[in-house]
Amino acid sequence: MSHSSTQLPQLLETADPMRLAILNARREGRSIGLVPTMGALHEGHLSLVQASVSKCDLTVVTIFVNPTQFGPGEDFGKYPRDLEADLAALATVSRDVLVFAPSVELMYPAGYDTRVVVGAVARPLEGRCRPGHFEGVATIVLKLFQLVPADVAFFGQKDYQQLLVIRRMVSDLNIPIRVEMCPTVRDADGLALSSRNRYLSPPQRQQALSLSRSLQLAAELVAGGQRDPQVVLRRMRELIQQAGDVRIDYVALADPDTLQPVSSMDRPVLALLAVRVGPARLIDNGMIQPP
């Protein structure tokens, strides 16, 4: 059997072969891991795939740029799509993963008219800035959970609120899938990896470092004894604004379970932010543990 380095993972584009592969794996008693993505894969995505490969017998990676989670004027049209490059990137982790890359027509055929309604945890932060976003996310993730009924689904901390929305849905709708959170993968200089980083010019990429640096600053302030969230937020905003031509959508210190703003910092608090840098809207977050 040849194992040339050009051998790529198997690609499935329709529902029936996907279901059959899951049925066969189940019959053989194999555990199944699912990694939902929108493609344009980077090391962050690959870390989720690696986690699944190490914990599950079969890993399915889905690649689907989901139109219903983009608002009007957002980057759905120009979102990077390169299936060949994605398959090659996945092959560096494992050639045994299955890739499910359905078309928009398959996922949303004519007449499609049902959506998942999401609750309180979807309302602040991203939910406020991107109306309808989490409804679109929850709907596509539920559909993927139906088409690929895995044992475990892997999501990144990078999209922390998304993870909470999905955990809520899984619990509320009795979906028999365990949701696992994987840590955010960053470049050496701290920038969280994102498919949208490729929109950045070199100077904008420098400005984008203000996101991770402000998270770092918040952690340092709290480690140094600062417990007033308003002070921490002000210092974070100042640091970001000093980066130059950027626009803050939000900077927040929130309860890690509810995402409601905190009034003190005596317990672990999640710092979250969304900042527009040139054409890219970037998000990041980090847990802050008081000493």
The residues annotated with a catalytic role in the active site are 45
Site for ligand AMP in 7-46 (CB under 6 A): 37-38, 44-45
The three-point CA angle 215-279-63 to 5° equals: 85
| b/e per residue 168-183 (b: at least 16 CB within 10 A) | bbbeeeebebebebbe
Pick the closer one to ligand AMP by CB: 149 or 190. 190
**Look-up of token digits 């690929």:** 148
Name 251's bridge partners: 273
Q: Are 96 and 139 in contact (CB under 8 A)?
A: no
Provide the minimum distance between the beta carbon of 48 and ligand AMP in the complex, in angstroms, as a whole number.
Answer: 5
Q: Are 229 and 261 in contact (CB under 8 A)?
A: yes
Provide the minimum distance between the beta carbon of 68 and ligand AMP in the complex, in angstroms, as a whole number.
Answer: 13
For the chain, the maximum distance between any two Cα atoms, rounded to a whole number of angstroms, is: 63
Pick the closer one to ligand AMP by CB: 144 or 253. 144
Non-local (6+) Cβ contacts of 49 within 8 A are 35, 59, 61, 90, 93, 94, 97, 154
Report the 10 Å Cβ neighbour count for 4.
5
Provide the minimum distance between the beta carbon of 2 and ligand AMP in the complex, in angstroms, as a whole number.
Answer: 31
Of residues 12, 89, 148, 192, which one binds ligand AMP by CB under 6 A?
192
Per-residue interface string for the shown chain with ligand AMP, residues 40-79, x marking contact by CB under 6 A: ----xx-xx-------------------------------
Site for ligand AMP in 172-191 (CB under 6 A): 182, 184-185
Pick the closer one to ligand AMP by CB: 134 or 233. 134
Size of the site for ligand AMP (CB under 6 A): 17
Pick the closer one to ligand AMP by CB: 158 or 232. 158
Pick the closer one to ligand AMP by CB: 42 or 235. 42
Q: Are 177 and 149 in contact (CB under 8 A)?
A: yes
Provide the minimum distance between the beta carbon of 46 and ligand AMP in the complex, in angstroms, as a whole number.
Answer: 9
**Applying CB under 6 A, does 281 fall inside the site for ligand AMP?**
no
d(CA 125, CA 260): 9
- Choose among 41, 36, 42: nearest CA to 186: 42
Q: Report the sign of the C-alpha dihedral through residues 279, 118, 151, 285, in that order.
A: positive
Provide the minimum distance between the beta carbon of 148 and ligand AMP in the complex, in angstroms, as a whole number.
Answer: 14
* Beta strand extents in 151-197 (DSSP E only): 152-156, 178-182
Provide the minimum distance between the beta carbon of 120 and ligand AMP in the complex, in angstroms, as a whole number.
Answer: 21
Of residues 61, 193, 253, 282, which one binds ligand AMP by CB under 6 A?
193
Pick the closer one to ligand AMP by CB: 18 or 35. 35
Per-residue interface string for the shown chain with ligand AMP, residues 133-162, x marking contact by CB under 6 A: ----------------------xx-xx---
Q: Which residues bind ligand AMP (CB under 6 A)?
A: 37-38, 44-45, 47-48, 155-156, 158-159, 182, 184-185, 192-195
